[in-house]
Amino acid sequence: MKKIMTAVALFGLAIAASAAPQAVVDAVQAPAWRDRDGRAEPLAPGMELRSRDRVRTGEGSRVYLRLADGSTVKLGEHGELLAERLGPSERQFFSAALNVAKGAFRFTTDKLRKLSRRDVTIRVATVTAGIRGTDIWGKTEPERDFVCLLEGRITVSHQDGDSREMSEPLTFYVAPRNQPPRGIEAADPETVKKWAAETEIQAGAGVTRRGGKWKLLLASIDGQQAALEVYDRVAGAGYAAAIRPRIVGEAIRYEILLRNLASKGEAEVLAAKVKARLGLEARPTL
């Protein structure tokens, strides 16, 4: 009987693991989008990602993604990341294949999770990095692709067949476009700081995060069609708006909102951005 109960419990855990999201949007410095099945929609905190989803960022944008194993993937502006594979492997530990087609990224695992088993590869155009518990930064540029090891150990390989092990912090693998790879080089710490800033969310930049309590009221409109037109304009610009109908007297007004802002200050900054870009007079609200 005890064995049967144990088997049932393990089966329940397996079902729960398979149902859990393999990646979730943690924070967004808009504009940013998710492409799925030929349709683009603005990224919002809490949005789940699955295999074959593509994440894109616009000018001045940053996005943080939280993977099911607890790792964080950060994407800088004008970036494009394809989740080629997200999900447990045949051995039931976390597995992912990510393809950074444009821009800069960072992959980070906290110290408590470095011992967890995982099978993660990140392709940066011509260079592929096999991830063990580690912290890496990389970028694809018109003239080169490169991956910088900040901490831990990785295996990097080039599409021409070159393969290297990297274990020294602040070293990077360089692959010039249409030339043989240059191999592993030492990175200047100040240069690495500048690189890292390209994927870090900027304080006071109007960022939306999971759990944020503040909202930004973009518009309050009579008429469903007029509200949908504003909603479509906001969403097309890369901001994850929502429509909330409210009864005012005997009429219905439609509020267009941006949610998940962590503070009034973040909401005020985002209000200024929305006004400059879309001409909407927005105001913060709880």
pLDDT of residue 5: 37
Q: How far apart are CA 160 and CA 53, in angstroms?
A: 27
Claim to verify: residue 69 and residue 174 sit in the same structural domain: yes
Q: How far apart are CA 33 and CA 25, in angstroms?
A: 11
End-to-end CA distance of the chain: 53
Q: What is the CATH number of the domain that holds 137?
A: 2.60.120.1440
Claim to verify: residue 58 and residue 137 sit in the same structural domain: yes
Amino acid at 129: A
Using alpha carbons, select from 164, 131, 133, 135 the residue that is nearest to residue 148. 135
Claim to verify: residue 46 and residue 177 sit in the same structural domain: yes
pLDDT of residue 9: 40
Claim to verify: residue 31 and residue 171 sit in the same structural domain: yes
Claim to verify: residue 189 and residue 223 sit in the same structural domain: no
Domain coverage including residue 245: 208-285
Contact 35, 53 (CB under 8 A): yes
Claim to verify: residue 212 and residue 190 sit in the same structural domain: no
* Domain annotation covers residue 157: yes
pLDDT of residue 133: 73
The tens place of each residue's pLDDT in the chain, 286 residues long, gives 444 333 334 344 344 444 578 999 999 999 999 999 999 999 999 999 999 999 999 999 999 999 998 899 999 999 999 999 998 765 667 889 999 999 999 999 865 555 466 789 999 999 999 987 789 999 999 999 999 999 999 999 999 999 999 999 999 999 999 899 999 999 999 999 999 999 999 888 999 999 999 999 999 999 999 999 999 999 999 999 999 999 888 889 999 999 999 999 999 999 999 999 999 999 999 9
pLDDT of residue 90: 59
pLDDT of residue 251: 86
Among residues 163, 197, 231, the one where a domain terminates is: 197
* Domain annotation covers residue 11: no
Claim to verify: residue 162 and residue 215 sit in the same structural domain: no
* Domain annotation covers residue 17: no
pLDDT of residue 2: 40
* Domain annotation covers residue 50: yes
